[in-house]
Chain A
Amino acid sequence: MTMKITAYADRTSVAPEESINFMVNCQAKSFKADFVKLICGDLNPDGPGYKERPIKTKANGTYPGRRQVIHAGSFIQLEESEHFNSLESFTLQAFIWPTLPENGKQVIIGNWSQRNSNGAELSIGPQNSGLMLTLGFGKDKLEEFSTGKNFLSRNWYFVSATYDAKTKSVSLTQEALHNHAKINDSAKKKYKVHNHGMKNCARMATIGAKFLKLDKNRTVCQNHFNGKIDSPAIACRALNSAEIEQLKHRQNQSLMSTDVVAAWDFSKNIKSVNVSDVSSNRINGKLVNMPVRGMTGWNWDGDEMNWSHAPNQYGAIHFHDDDVHDAGWEVDVTLKIPKGLKSGLYAARLRCGNNLEEEDYVPFAVLPPKGKATAKICFLLPTASYMAYANEHMGTDAPIAQLLAGRLVEHQHQDLYRNEHREYGPSCYDVHTDGSGVCYSSRLRPILNMRPKYKSWLGGKGSTLWQFNADTHIINWLEAMKYDYDVITDEELHYEGVDCLERYKVVLSSSHPEYHSKEMWDAMATYQDRGGRLMYLGANGWYWRIAFHEEADGIIEVRRAEGGIRGWEAQTGEYYHSFTGEYGGLWRRNGRAPQKIVGSGFTAQGFDISSFYTRKPDSFKKPVKWIMSGVKPDEKIGDFGLVGGGAAGLELDRADVSLGTHPNAYVLASSEDHTDLYLLVCEELLINYPGLGGQENPLVRADLVFYETDNGGGVFSTSSIAWPGSLSHNNYKNNVSKITKNVLDRFVKNGPIID
């Protein structure tokens, strides 16, 4: 599958008079760039139809096309140092926890130069042939030495190699640190070297991969290591066994002062992209493509779960051959947002081909001018949640996808491209090549499932929408109903706090605002406490705790810790964010169940068809009966819609006072009659029991909730991801649209919500 054009932007939100850059990979000679205001991204001919509105900008035009590629795979790029390149004899050592030892040669540390066979490298040999030392003698002469003992996957080993130029000898040590009986995978080997005068080189030294080339200032590596590396070190001579043992534990200060060239301690500055050499040479390094820090090391004993309490047991970095942070493409198009351009959802429309038949869209929010609001209503674009799902591969990879969807999985051309171009990087729903969970996700790469016109296999029968494109139904409704609104994103919420919300009378959420940092959570709670009004038009919101990196742009962290519906599970001891040191996982397990901030929280999911709500006694109570104005007492609410055929579907939330729903909250309506593919979420299961499906379990429902907050604030929650897909039914004349309008009109007015 080819996509002749793919692109990303350096930011997801931009204010008037600021600039946004677009990086474009185009296989045609040229491409046309223009910009559109996005209204409705749903191509379903049974819905309101696709709507975009071109806007004139100075950046509209034709640009030369060029191929830009992503170099996936993480490693540490070490600062250049003459210490490496002047070594004649040496010792290389480290602890390693390989995860794919059978996957070809994987470099632990080295400064190898492919061009002339210069330098040295320590690696796992091809075909899992054990520890391997490669020495280069220049002019394509090299010698390789191996222990020949297979590594076991996911077990710790201590490895070392020495080279003595004078005696022309090599020694290798592969020491298994596991205690599996009758597994003989430790080895000590000595070899004679035939060539003399190892040629060192001025090539870049790297940990976790082998340097290949520079590509437009990006360092490109190959032979990526899959697994953990802990405490690598280099000495300037062939150490004896006792000295190697001392260096292993950093015990001999004299040795450290005189013979150690570098000794890296990954347990220092775990939050940083920089790694520290604790030898006197200070040959520090920098992470490329964000391998995972804060991981249990070779000496982790299980007594401590929090890396900040015992950092010395968290000296490992986990490298993956499919890690991606910043694709690092060159800028092709720069748009300066015109002064006066209305805040809203926009996209760069990038097209190529003879009839402009190949296209990619890069969506972004145009913010109101700095420090101002240009409307009373704000739509909060959940860019952190889009990042968590960025480029997910479940539809092509996961056998359960068809079970969850309850039908054949539908693929778009973007899905086929993502499947074949794994270098575009995985989502936090995927596992890496080595089966470990993906806990970081970046927006500095094309995110091909965050696009208008895109259908996601998760999105229910019908329009089959999920996340970004589903959320355009909210934008479409606001436009159709002629509401004036601004758009901001999760990153404004995270970095600016409550200030960015306080200017608005009402904030509308998306259909699925699932991922929140503490800063985002606090900002929303403060907004409500100060009288802000939130309409939560979705479900499974405020579910996972995330962290933004404090140094690196555009990347979030999710630790799938001890509860919740998880595409993978964090390893024991690895529940704390490396970016911040916070305990990760569900907000519910952080003392802040979603019910505390939106009155309802995740209770069930299913992805085949949606259902409807019926009114509950609270909806007839005098203080809130205006919400149901125009809805008959026995009328089914939302027994129609583009997402699964109903307004209650995909993921559902329920009110629960024991989890934090306001005791005075009104449960206005609840959904019913879900299929048995809708199952209770696993965090509710202490003892598993029969009858967890939608036809039997009373907890499989969406609750329509309203409650007041302090200072005139209020929260209205629809508790269903499918809700926005029903808004446009019957030309917006339907009870889902009516209820949404009743609440929004009341929320936007001055004065109390309840008379």
Chain B
Amino acid sequence: MEKNLGEKFIASSNDRELIAEFKRNPIGHHSPELQRLLNQFRGIPMKDKFCLLVIKPNRLWQLAKTSGVAGKPVQKLPKTFSSQSDAEWYIFRKRWKSLTGETLKP
């Protein structure tokens, strides 16, 4: 699991709108509130940070995580995605869980 993203907090109804907004459009324009959340998610240190490996360009990606140590291999994980949006949503759910303790439905 990635670094704990901070103190646990209870998601409010407003926060829940961010979940829907992200699922609709994970890459591109976001509301300021969602962007702040994504800045927190995406700005964490490199140790055990999720990333993608290109298996088939623009068609298939494998989940992996960086080591945070120069020269130490990127660790491949047993999970693949056929779209970037799927990968983004999967990682959003993991990071949301880490932040709030709540498991979002796929």
Contacts and interface: CB of A to CB of B under 8 A. Distances in A.
Interface stretch (A259-267, A399-407, A633-641, A680-688): A399-407
Interface stretch (A415-423, A497-505, A552-560): A415-423
- A393, A419, A463, most chain B CB atoms within 10 A: A419
A46 B58 contact: yes
A675 B28 contact: yes
A410 B61 contact: yes
B57 A44 contact: yes
Contact of B58 (A44, A393, A400, A453): A44
Contact of A608 (B28, B43, B46, B51): B28
A399 B57 contact: no
B74 A396 contact: yes
B37 interface: no
Given A410-B52, A416-B53, A609-B27, A403 B66 contact: no
Contacts of A398: 46
A417 to B, nearest CB: 10
A617 interface: no
A424 B53 CA distance: 21
Given A46-B58, A402-B42, A408 B70 contact: no
Contacts of B50: 408
B84 to A, nearest CB: 7
B34 to A, nearest CB: 11
Contacts of A484: none
A397 B68 CA distance: 7
Interface in A466-507: none
A218 interface: no
A396 B46 contact: yes
Contacts of B18: none
B28 A455 contact: no
Nearest to B63: A408
Contact of B43 (A400, A410, A455, A676): A400
B66 A396 contact: yes
A411 B91 contact: no
B73 A408 contact: no
B74 A397 contact: no
Contacts of A44: 57-58
A462 B27 CA distance: 11
A1 interface: yes
Contact of A411 (B26, B35, B53): B53
A650 to B, nearest CB: 14
B102 interface: no
Contacts of A402: 42-43, 49, 51
Interface string B72-93: 1110000000001001100100
Nearest to A50: B57
A68 interface: no
A461 B88 CA distance: 13
B18 to A, nearest CB: 15
A43 interface: yes
A411 B73 CA distance: 12
B87 A399 contact: no
A399 B49 CA distance: 9
B70 A463 contact: no
Nearest to A694: B29
B45 interface: yes
B2 to A, nearest CB: 11
Given A43-B57, A407-B88, A461-B27, A393 B70 contact: yes
Nearest to A407: B27
B64 interface: yes
A1 B57 contact: no
Nearest to B27: A407
A396 B84 CA distance: 19
Q: How many residues of B sit at the interface, in one of the four size bands? A: 35 or more
A413 B53 CA distance: 8
A462 B85 CA distance: 12
A45 interface: yes
Nearest to A411: B53
B104 interface: no
Contacts of B88: 407-408
A608 B66 CA distance: 20
Given A44-B58, A45-B59, A409 B52 contact: yes
Residue of B30, B38, B70 most packed against chain A (CB within 10 A): B70
Nearest to B62: A411
B59 A420 contact: no
Contact of B46 (A43, A399, A462): A399
B106 interface: no
Contacts of A462: 58
Given A408-B91, A433-B70, A399 B53 contact: no
A343 B76 CA distance: 42
Given A420-B73, A455-B57, A408 B51 contact: yes
Interface string A512-549: 00000000000000000000000000000000000000
A463 B39 CA distance: 24
Contacts of B45: 399
B71 interface: yes
A455 B46 contact: no
B51 A411 contact: yes
B19 to A, nearest CB: 17
B28 A609 contact: yes
A411 B74 contact: yes
Nearest to A409: B51
A395 B84 CA distance: 17
A393 B39 CA distance: 21
Interface in A1-20: 1
A556 B105 CA distance: 52
A195 interface: no
A695 B54 CA distance: 31
Contacts of A420: 71-73
Contacts of B58: 43-46, 462-463
Contacts of B35: 676
A135 to B, nearest CB: 34
B44 interface: yes
A412 interface: yes
A411 B64 contact: yes
B71 A411 contact: no
Contact of B70 (A412, A422, A453, A455): A422
Interface string A440-477: 00000000000001010000011100000000000000
| Most chain A beta-carbon contacts within 10 A, residue among B52, B61, B71, B87 | B71
A43 B66 CA distance: 25
A411 B27 contact: no
11 contacts: A44-B57, A44-B58, A45-B59, A396-B46, A396-B74, A406-B28, A413-B53, A420-B71, A461-B84, A609-B27, A609-B28
Given A408-B91, A419-B74, 4 more contacts: A399-B44, A412-B53, A420-B71, A675-B29
Interface of A: 1, 43-46, 393, 395-400, 402-403, 406-413, 416, 419-420, 422, 433, 453, 455, 461-463, 608-609, 675-676, 695
Question: What 4 A-B pairs are tightest by C-beta distance, nearest first?
Answer: A43-B57, A402-B42, A609-B28, A409-B51
